[in-house]
Amino acid sequence: MLQKIIPLMYNKSMGKNVARETASGFTIIEVMLFLAITGMLFAGLLGGYAASLSRQRYNDAVQGVVDDFRKIYSSVSDVQIASRTDTTACYRLNLLEESPPVGSASPQLPADNDANTRRGRSNCVVYGVVVKIVTTGGSSSIQATQLIGRDTDFGPYSSATSGVNLIEDLKKLNANNISIRRSGGSKELVGTSGVYKPLWGASLSKADCASGSSDCSLNAALLIARSPSSGAIHTYAWETTSGDGFDDLLSLNESGAPDTSPLDWKNGVNAHLNEFEPVGEGDKALRFCVESGDAMSYGGHKRMIQISSSAGRSSSSVELIDMDSGGNKCN
Distance CA 173, CA 257 (A): 25
pLDDT band at 224 (very low <50, low <70, confident <90, very high): very high
CB 101 within 8 A of CB 92: yes
Q: What residue numbers bound the domain in which 236 lies?
A: 80-284
What is the average per-residue pLDDT within 225-239?
89
pLDDT computed for residue 197 by the predictor? 95
- The H-or-E segment that residue 133 falls in is strand 124-136
Buried/exposed code over 258-288 (b: 16+ C-beta within 10 A; e: otherwise): beeeebebbbbbbbbbebbeebeeeeebbbb
pLDDT band at 41 (very low <50, low <70, confident <90, very high): confident
Asked if residue 29 is part of any domain, the answer here is: no
Asked if residue 44 is part of any domain, the answer here is: no
More confident: 88 or 45: 45
Asked if residue 250 is part of any domain, the answer here is: yes
Asked if residue 138 is part of any domain, the answer here is: yes
C-alpha distances in angstroms, 25 versus 20, 29, 31, 227? 11, 12, 10, 85
Least confident piece of the model among 95-109, 157-171, 234-248, 296-310: 95-109
With 0-12 / 13-18 / 19 or more C-beta atoms within 10 angstroms meaning exposed / middle / buried, residue 323 is middle
Distance CA 148, CA 268 (A): 11
pLDDT computed for residue 96 by the predictor? 29
Count structural domains, the chain. 1
Asked if residue 175 is part of any domain, the answer here is: yes
Asked if residue 233 is part of any domain, the answer here is: yes
Asked if residue 24 is part of any domain, the answer here is: no
Asked if residue 296 is part of any domain, the answer here is: no
Q: What is the pLDDT of residues 126-138, one digit of tens each?
A: 899 999 999 988 8
Q: Is residue 248 helix, strand or coil?
A: helix
254 pLDDT higher than 70? yes
212 pLDDT higher than 90? no
Pairing of strands 219-226, 286-291: unpaired
Decide: pTM greater than 0.85: no
